[in-house]
Amino acid sequence: MSGAKRKRTVLPLEKKVVSVNHLENGESVTKLAKEYGLGQSTLLDLNKTLKYISETETGAGLSACKILRQPVEAKLEEALYNWFLQKRAKGEPVSGPILSAKASQSHQAIGCKSSQSEKSAPDYKTSEECITVLACANMSGTHKLKLACIGKAQNPLALKNVCSNLPVVYLNQKNAWMDGHLFHEWFTKHFVPSVQREQSAPPQVLLLVDNAPHVYQTTLLSDDGRIKSIFLPPNITSLVQPVVQGVLETMKRHYRKNLLRRLLLEEGVGGNAQKLSEFWKSLNIKDALYSVANAWHSITKHTILKSWRKLWPE
């Protein structure tokens, strides 16, 4: 049988300093530990901690360091720091992702060997233009369909002369939402033909769809009966729906990264900064569609395959 467990003791700072002073004066660790109700290892750790704090305050700690790490690219560090100071002096917000994107851009501009908000902008106004995105892929990630993007306008001015060459399927609805009519149109005119063109498609294809009351809730079938859609039960989408298990979040990160990269390219290395408010206002639905399509293209097979682990553990 082991002895009774020692009751946890919390010493005020004054007593901690006194106990360490006694220890440095040569008193026994066993005696001091018993006197203050501490374990011997605790007392020794306390001594090291207070000694380190004391050395740091006096500057002695720096001279005792064996390794003082230097930046891998000193020029890049200096250029990035100066750029950051300029932005702060102008009152422009600089977030972590913006700083990271600027570092990636700058390392090429200054010849480095390697490199590893908008709402606070002046005159910022939330855009009233929005789109809904539908993403679909097979389980192995070898067949990613074009994104279906739903906007409000039937023929947006920004898409004039490019509708037939868009990297996405563009649909429209007055609220830019997916409804039963649009889902049926997408299933019959885009999903089914795309799957039928895929040579590696299995004899039977099952499409899993989020449970959404405003979307078509009746099971849909292709004309040959090989392709079928079913809706997941209510309230489990966030738990098992594959596309929600990291796929959409990864796509959003790529989308934001693309926007930040474009912002930095517009700005130029020379410091001729375009105001953030002007940049955000210059974006239109065409920019959004091409950017989100690029983000979807960046999703790897591995990311899609991992998203099925909860629904298909094998």
pLDDT in tens, 195-205: 988 867 677 89
Output the pLDDT for position 298.
Answer: 92
pLDDT in tens, 41-89: 887 887 777 776 665 545 555 455 555 566 667 777 777 777 777 766 6
pLDDT in tens, 241-284: 777 778 888 898 899 888 888 777 665 433 444 566 677 778 88
Higher confidence at residue 17 or residue 252?
252
Instruction: For residue 136, give the nearest of 176, 69, 190, 196 by alpha carbon.
Output: 190
Kindly report whether the global pTM for this prediction surpasses the value 0.75: no
